[in-house]
Structure 1
Amino acid sequence: MTFSSPQNKRGVTPAKAMVAAISGYAMDGFDLLILGFMLPAISASLALSTSQAGSLVTWTLIGAVLGGILFGHLSDRLGRIRVLTFTILMFSVFTGLCAVAQGYWDLLAYRTLAGMGLGGEFGIGMALIAEVWPAHKRNRASAWVGIGWQLGVLLAAFITPLLLDIIGWRGMFLVGLLPALVSFAIRRGMGEPEAFTKDSRVAEEMSFTRRGSRCWFADRATSKASIGHSDPVFGADFGYYGLMIWMPSYLSSTLAFR
């Protein structure tokens, strides 16, 4: 979407949107990487099999996919900030509950539901940037948001080896709450983008957006663009997450990396 003004009348400036999106992406990267570092400790504490430990990661990602689809549709109808705030709260609550899990099944449920919040935040944050930033700066802004993920990954790589032996995996889940709570606080102070006000200039665009996934295949050109974009993203994410999430566990359990 292209809007004539980079700042809408409800106070969502490009700078606020950038801080909100980067903090959310950093939270996502931090959470997924610390899980990889903690798997050996979680497995030992809860007597998990290798397949059970692996399923904690798998269902976190499945939850993220489901959350991205569900909350993406809801954000088209109810508003970016409103749904974004809910996904952060959902992620925070169930990440905190992971710290008090007593066995495999409740931990699996908490991770899946936390993953849904994570996936919802991931997509909506980038949509917020696309709607608030002016068109000629949008590509650069999207790249900066992507860097937020890597900052979260780096933070997890530095902090987890230092704290895991001191506070344990339960304490690490509580540490993982901190960036989520900061992100939640930031977003609570923001209004909706202009696209979700009653401005008649965007009514036609929003009627198209609110059709949800049907827009992906609205016509031949749109279908080709949707498929052409999805294929490389699927391949890149498959390789990236397959490597990055399991690498910390491999380094910790096999190479005694601390």
Structure 2
Amino acid sequence: MDINVKTSQGSTGVIQPASAEAEGDTTSVAYRWKVLIASVMGYAMDGLDMLILSFVMAAIMSTFGLSLAEGGFVATVTLFGAVIGGYAFGIMADYYGRVKVFSLTILIFSVFTGLTAFASNLTELNIYRFLAGLGLGGEFGIGMTLVTETWPKEKRARVTGGVAIGWQLGVVLAAVVSAWVLPTYGWRAVFLVGALPALFAAWSRYGLAEPPIWVARNELRKRLKAKVKNNEPLTEEEMATYKETNKFPLLHLFANKRISTTTFGLTVMTSVQNMGYYGIMIWLPTILMQKHGLTLTKTSTWMIATVIGMMLGITVFGYIADKLGRRPAYISFQLMSAVCVWIYSGLSDPMHLLIGGAILGFFCNGMMAGYGALLSENYSTDARSTAENFIFNTGRAVGGLAPVLIGMLAAKYTLSGALALLAFIYIAAAINVYFLIPETKDKELIN
């Protein structure tokens, strides 16, 4: 049954699933695809901005005379802004609506990404990057929430996988923009051009209606608030619903022992996901050039092959998660990621490294397809966007430490050996899923 709700005519105002006959325009195929496209575009802007920074970092450091530490802090402050923005905008989307807040995040991103081009010193640069990060942080969770609340449950993992592919499209776009613009016009022009796709993303949201499940829940919340304000008596059921709908969204994630355990388990999953991604994408090119002597051109070819592998992995994972279940999909991909990372750290032949990179990307980042669905299915409409952004951005914050930790271990041992330790982290993640994460395949979204 499609994800849709209507409010019953009873006095309690309890939300019940809507029938197919009651479905309005917001359940049409055209509406669903518009929601999906808008969400894909939003997450593509996330990937575009984060990767543009890596491509132009050397030029920025040259312009402002920055040290490696100062240059690294520019990236860190962007990530810090994304984490804070993810928390804040996730909560706002549960209170004020997914589409409204989604549009606000893209506006903030586009304005401050553009202003980055006009930074005259390091302080201004960091301020603009932090503020752009705020907008970026809200994209993942709100976009995923929109998609899961509008598409049928039997396609949930596949469509959230489509949103996840948006990041990879942003990575490709960042590479293209940087290659074409940077040599001729400089890094400032790259940020100006990088802000333009955000305008298209904003346009894709124009006229988009809020998901019916959120609209019905919001109307119920307002109706009960009005009764309380007018001193009208509430039934026991209405009082329970009133308290539930007015609870601070973040508290829903820790409402009882079972939910708290699930929240912890999901946070571990997203942390490992981000540790693997940042660890692999930041350090493997260095390994290829330093240990194996690959040129920059060959390393770029490796990057392209790895990104293609990631996109294929996301597509396949979404299909498996919808057909076989979330737990089997995650456990199998996490165990295969452990095997692939371990084997890859010992490869030396250039062709093996190229093919292995694609396989590595297939399993390690293919899991991105399932997070939007899995997070949505474990929390109610009152806190769904909060859960998506809080859990994933907490994982992003933890995962952002991976490059530093791997660098520290590499200084004491070897870079390949340090990276191989990710294999044990993936095994721990699989154990975490087995014991802490419930199966939610074909589950109706919680009102």
With structure 1 as the length reference, what TM-score do the two structures score?
0.88
- 2:264 corresponds in structure 1 to 227
| Cα deviation digits, residues 75-111 of structure 1 (max 9, x gap) | 0000000001001000011001000000100000100
| Cα deviation digits, residues 167-193 of structure 1 (max 9, x gap) | 210000011111111101111221211
For structure 1, the residue ranges without an aligned partner over 5 or more in a row are: none
Segments of 4+ moved more than 4 angstroms: 4-12, 198-210, 245-252, 254-258
The answer on 1:57 being equivalent to 2:94 is no
**50 and 125 in structure 1: CA distance in 2 versus 1, 3 angstrom threshold:** same
**178 and 200 in structure 1: CA distance in 2 versus 1, 3 angstrom threshold:** closer
2:144 equivalent among 116, 121, 126 = 126
For structure 2, the residue ranges without an aligned partner over 5 or more in a row are: 5-17, 222-240, 301-447
- Taking the aligned partners of 1:16 and 1:119, their CA distance within structure 2 comes to 21
Shift in Å at residue 34 of structure 1?
A: 1.1
- 2:117 corresponds in structure 1 to 99
CA contact (8 A) 2:36 2:159 kept: yes
CA contact (8 A) 1:9 1:194 kept: no
CA contact (8 A) 1:59 1:112 kept: yes
- 1:88 corresponds in structure 2 to 106
| Cα deviation digits, residues 41-61 of structure 1 (max 9, x gap) | 000011111111101111111
The answer on 1:166 being equivalent to 2:178 is no
Q: Percent identity?
A: 42
Q: Which has the higher contact order (CA 8 A, sep 6+)?
A: 1
Matched residue type, 2:169:
L
2:275 equivalent among 238, 248, 251 = 238
- Taking the aligned partners of 2:53 and 2:77, their CA distance within structure 1 comes to 12
- Taking the aligned partners of 2:243 and 2:208, their CA distance within structure 1 comes to 20
- Taking the aligned partners of 2:243 and 2:154, their CA distance within structure 1 comes to 21
CA contact (8 A) 1:29 1:152 kept: yes
- Taking the aligned partners of 2:50 and 2:186, their CA distance within structure 1 comes to 17
Shift in Å at residue 113 of structure 1?
A: 0.6
**190 and 242 in structure 1: CA distance in 2 versus 1, 3 angstrom threshold:** same
The total of aligned residue pairs comes to: 257
Shift in Å at residue 146 of structure 1?
A: 0.7
1:45 equivalent among 63, 67, 76 = 63
Deviates more, 1:68-77 or 1:4-13: 4-13
- 2:96 corresponds in structure 1 to 78
Matched residue type, 1:213:
L
CA contact (8 A) 1:11 1:191 kept: no
- Taking the aligned partners of 1:56 and 1:161, their CA distance within structure 2 comes to 21
1:108 equivalent among 112, 117, 126 = 126
Shift in Å at residue 250 of structure 1?
A: 10
CA contact (8 A) 1:88 1:180 kept: yes
CA contact (8 A) 1:20 1:186 kept: yes
Deviates more, 1:192-201 or 1:158-167: 192-201
Shift in Å at residue 65 of structure 1?
A: 0.6
CA contact (8 A) 2:26 2:32 kept: no
The answer on 1:157 being equivalent to 2:179 is no
CA contact (8 A) 1:25 1:145 kept: yes
- 1:185 corresponds in structure 2 to 203
- 2:233 corresponds in structure 1 to none
CA contact (8 A) 1:37 1:249 kept: no
Shift in Å at residue 245 of structure 1?
A: 5.6
Shift in Å at residue 159 of structure 1?
A: 3.2
CA contact (8 A) 2:35 2:146 kept: yes
- 1:18 corresponds in structure 2 to 36
CA contact (8 A) 1:76 1:210 kept: no
2:215 equivalent among 197, 221, 227 = 197
- 1:212 corresponds in structure 2 to 249
| Cα deviation digits, residues 179-229 of structure 1 (max 9, x gap) | 111101111221211133246897659955963111111112211111111
1:143 equivalent among 161, 178, 197 = 161
**242 and 110 in structure 1: CA distance in 2 versus 1, 3 angstrom threshold:** farther
CA contact (8 A) 1:8 1:193 kept: no
- Taking the aligned partners of 1:5 and 1:246, their CA distance within structure 2 comes to 51
- Taking the aligned partners of 1:249 and 1:86, their CA distance within structure 2 comes to 37
Shift in Å at residue 255 of structure 1?
A: 6.2
- 2:432 corresponds in structure 1 to none
Matched residue type, 1:240:
Y
**Cα root mean square deviation, aligned:** 3.0
Shift in Å at residue 238 of structure 1?
A: 2.6
CA contact (8 A) 1:129 1:141 kept: yes
- Taking the aligned partners of 1:147 and 1:11, their CA distance within structure 2 comes to 23
CA contact (8 A) 2:177 2:194 kept: no
